[in-house]
Amino acid sequence: MSKAKAYSATSATSPMAATTIQRREPTEQDVEIEILFCGICHSDLHSVRNEWSEFMPTVYPIVPGHEIVGLVTKVGSSVTKFKTGDLAAVGCLVDSDGTCAECKAGLEQYCPNLTFTFNSPDKHSRGVTYGGYSESIVVDQRFVLRVPTNLSLPGTAPLLCAGITTYSPMRRWNVSKGQKVGVVGLGGLGHMAVKFAHALDTHVVVFTTSPKKKEDALRLGADEVVVSSNTSDMQKHADSFDFIIDAVSADHDVNVYLSLLRRDGNLTIVGAPSKPLGVSAFSLIARRRSFSGSSIGGIPETQEMLDFCGKHNITADVEVIPIQKVNEAYDRLLKSDVKYRFSIDMSSLKG
Ligand code: NAP
Ligand code: ZN
């Protein structure tokens, strides 16, 4: 065991604060990583505040963080994928059973026995897993990803959750050149969806509640921006979208967006508000529309996404912060005030 500096919350109402955690010595399959940058996902905030208590109750203390890039510092004797000094990344998953149909299909995120990077029962200890708001992490090599060397590291960290969560459903629904794609909510996930949809040569329309994000949306690759409170602008897009991705973190009316899909169009929800969303049957029946969900992505597809980003030079637009500003960053997330992902410089933990 070794000690690692980290940031944790001890209850749903307490702020994140400095702490020390234990990391295991690498077993023969493990890779030890010194964490350089960790993105802040809205899921970190939902979990810290126990907003998903019904589905995934939080065990305290919680050390969040699942958008991790760093340097390999040690490898176990059977590790072939990595050597000391390599760049490496870890996303939302650190283990799965490896034997079920989901794992065999490379869809480890749907394995019934998966281990999330934080707040998940840890088979190596009696406690739960601790995430990336820390100096280091030890992970089975099967769940460690290779990082393209041409990408900036602070902007690469968010690819491990915001990136794969938006890339995966676009692949699943065969989003392709010439299609009309909607992105609802221009936050961490939403801005990555815009970049991917643009790289796939689609016509991208952003729906936002924040008029001040209009120019940024166009710069990020949107062809049109609609402020969702403007009903007549919304109406102009009725029955026209092939695919819409909804990345909103709070309660909202999805029927408004379902009505914008053309026949056989799909709306995939990736945002995870804690309250149920009311879907009208008529929103779906009318044009044989479908409404589906999607969880992050499997390990092979996450590597594919990172390689796609390397090829197309895609990273997240980040505001780099020291860990000491994490509570302020959470407050700003709740005000939709982030351009467009916070990336924590983990060297700040050493200070
Ligand atoms: P984020 O950066 O905070 O972005 C959320 C965006 O939603 C905001 O920027 C805002 O965009 C919009 N929004 C916020 N409050 C709203 C409201 N009351 N009504 C309408 N729109 C609102 O969050 P994120 O990190 O991208 O995460 C988004 C959601 O996805 C979270 O619920 C997170 O837990 C979930 N998530 C799911 C997965 C998965 O596997 N499915 C993975 C990661 C995250 P505008 O200002 O443009 O309106
Ligand atoms: Zn996330």
The percent of residues in the chain predicted with pLDDT above 70, rounded, is 100
**pTM of the model as a whole:** 0.98
Where does the pLDDT of residue 244 fall: very low under 50, low under 70, confident under 90, or very high at 90 and above?
A: very high
Which atom number of ligand 1 is nearest to the Cα of residue 272?
A: 32
Q: Is the CB of 252 under 6 A from ligand 1?
A: yes
Strands 241-246 and 180-184: parallel
pLDDT at 351 over 80: no
CA of 270 to the centre of ligand 1 (A): 9
pLDDT digits (tens, 9 = 90+) for 63-80: 999 999 999 999 999 999
The rounded percent of the chain whose pLDDT value lies above 90 is 98
Angle between helix axes 162-172 and 299-312 (nearest 10 degrees) is: 100
- Residue 208's alpha-carbon distances to 129, 222, 239, 314, in angstroms, are 35, 12, 19, 22
41 ligand 1 Cβ < 6 A: yes
Would you say how long the chain is, in residues? 351
The whole-chain average pLDDT of the chain stands at 97
Burial 140-162, CB ≥16 within 10 A → b, else e: bbbbbbebbeebebbbbbbbbbb
Q: Which of 66, 57, 16 is nearest to 348 (CA)?
A: 16
- The single-letter code of the amino acid at 69 is V
User: Structure tokens of 225?
Assistant: 């921006």
Burial of 295 (0-12, 13-18, 19+ CB in 10 A): middle
Taking the domains of the chain in order of start, what are their residue ranges? 2-161+317-350, 163-293
Give yes or no for residue 40 CB within 6 A of ligand 1. Answer: no
- Closest ligand to the CA of 109: 1
N- to C-terminal Cα separation, the chain: 23
Q: What is the CATH code for 163-293? A: 3.40.50.720
The pLDDT confidence band at residue 126, using thresholds 50, 70 and 90, is confident
Q: Which fold has domain 2-161+317-350?
A: Quinone Oxidoreductase; Chain A, domain 1 (3.90.180)
Buried b (16+ CB within 10 A) or exposed e, 324-344: ebbeebbebbeebebebbbbb
Report the candidate in 89, 94, 84 with the shortest Cα–Cα distance to residue 24: 94
Question: What pLDDT does 218 receive?
Answer: 98
- Cα 91–318–328 angle (5° rounding)? 90
C-beta of residue 186 within 8 angstroms of C-beta of residue 213: yes
Please indicate whether residue 66, judged by its CB atom, sits closer than 6 Å to ligand 1.
no
Q: Residues 154, 318: contact at Cβ < 8 Å? A: yes
In tens, the pLDDT along 169-214 reads 999 999 999 999 999 999 999 999 999 999 999 999 999 999 999 9
Q: What is the mean pLDDT of residues 125-130?
A: 94
What distance in angstroms lies between residue 47's CA and the mean position of ligand 2's atoms?
10
Mean pLDDT along residues 246-259: 97
Ligand 1 touching residue 289 (CB < 6 A): no
Of 300, 180, 310, 199, the closest CA to residue 245 belongs to: 180
User: How confident is the model over 264-281, as a mean pLDDT?
Assistant: 95
